[in-house]
Copies of this chain bind each other. A is one copy, B any other.
Amino acid sequence: MVRLWLALRRARGWGALAGLRARPDKFGGVSVDLAELRRPLRLERAAFGRWLRGKCRAGAPGAAGRADAVARWREEGRVAIWLRIPILQSRFVAAAASQGFAFHHAEQGSSTLTLWLGEGPSRLPGYATHQLGVAGAVLDENTGKVLVIQDRNKTLNAWKFPGGLSNPGEDIGDTAVREVFEETGIKSEFKSILSIRQQHRHPGAFGKSDMYIICRLEPSSFNISFCQQECLRCEWMDLDELARTKHATPITSNVAKLLLYGYREGFDKIDITMREFPAVYTGLFYKLYHRELPESYRNFT
């Protein structure tokens, strides 16, 4: 009876692990993806815990489902284990946590846990540390007026440039142009980066860091139709006045002065310009932002 029970238990437990592969990576770690379980419902939480703990004996050779998991990887000199768990199989998360695993990250339908086996503190790369906010300073060169808004949800009604968080995969200039249009109805074109700010432990970024970039944009439409949900006010303001007013956030005030300097003495004095380069991986391009480089130096050989 006990033997039958054990056999059943094994069938419902480690047998379900048979399809699972442990994939070594080039940094000395190993990855296991529970999305590869053929019959996840047949794997009991406790059986998974025992498999990790390395106290079971069954399993197919070569499969991750063999006998001793963590202990065996440690003996093999693996420095880390990466464990990806589909959200609906999250019952295995606590079992892994009991063995020392912790969340590395999670997104939508799955989480990834890690366990460092190497010497000293973990040298595993962390997950994304920054959110990116981008604002657009849209200057109408014909009138010397710049597009400014006041946020609806802020107690302090200070003038600022329209902007918002970058979407995943979105380029800096595209975020600026999109956010300006969504908030004010003004169409514009990216010209340059004006300033970069970094802030840490940002409450609006779930304690992560915030990178905030202000771009110089050139308007191609002029009739304001601003988003009532986000903005309290929106107008074309004299750049002089924005550079002078106390009713602006410090960063807005500072960038207004910078923009005024460029407007009066040439944008080449303030711009951080963009160039596109082919990436090392075929077919991709990347944008590099820096000070203007004379042709003679670009072609230096």
Chain A contact-residue range equals 35 or more
Partner among B106, B165, B169, B298 whose Cβ is within 8 Å of the Cβ of A257: B298
The answer to whether residues A244 and B130 also contact, given A206-B105, A254-B277, A293-B258 and a CB cut-off of 8 A, is no
Contact A111-B107, Cβ < 8 Å, known A128-B208, A211-B132: no
Q: In the complex the two chains form, is B289's CB within 8 Å of A128's CB?
A: no
Complex CA distance for A117 and B172, rounded to whole angstroms: 30
A232 to B200, CA, bound (A): 34
* Minimum CB–CB distance for A249 against chain B, Å: 7
Query: Any chain B CB within 8 A of the CB of A3?
Result: no
Q: Which of A52-60, A61-69, A218-226, A266-274 contacts B (4 or more CB under 8 A)?
A: A266-274
Q: Which of A93, A243, A250, A277 has the most CB of B within 10 A?
A: A93
Contact A260 B297 (CB under 8 A): yes
Binary flags per residue of A213-243, CB closer than 8 Å to B gives 1, else 0: 0000000000000000000000000000001
Check A94–B87 contact: CB distance below 8 A. Answer: yes
Task: With A87-B93, A105-B105 as known contacts, state yes or no: A258 contacts B128, CB within 8 Å.
Answer: no
Known interface pairs A108-B102, A280-B250, A293-B257; A198-B127 also in contact (CB < 8 Å): no
Contact in complex: B257, A300 (CB < 8 Å)? yes
Contacts of A286 in B (CB 8 A): 197-199
CB<8 Å pairs between A and B, sample of 14: A45-B91, A93-B93, A104-B106, A105-B206, A125-B165, A127-B128, A129-B131, A130-B130, A168-B200, A194-B291, A196-B272, A199-B279, A255-B290, A272-B272
Q: What 10 A-B pairs come out closest when comparing CB atoms?
A: A106-B106, A90-B93, A103-B106, A128-B128, A195-B290, A128-B208, A130-B130, A87-B97, A196-B289, A169-B200
A interface with B by C-beta (< 8 Å): 26-27, 45, 87-91, 93-94, 97-98, 102-112, 125-132, 153, 156, 165-172, 193-201, 204-206, 208-209, 211, 243-244, 249-251, 254-255, 257-258, 260-261, 269-272, 275, 277-280, 286-291, 293-294, 297-298, 300-301
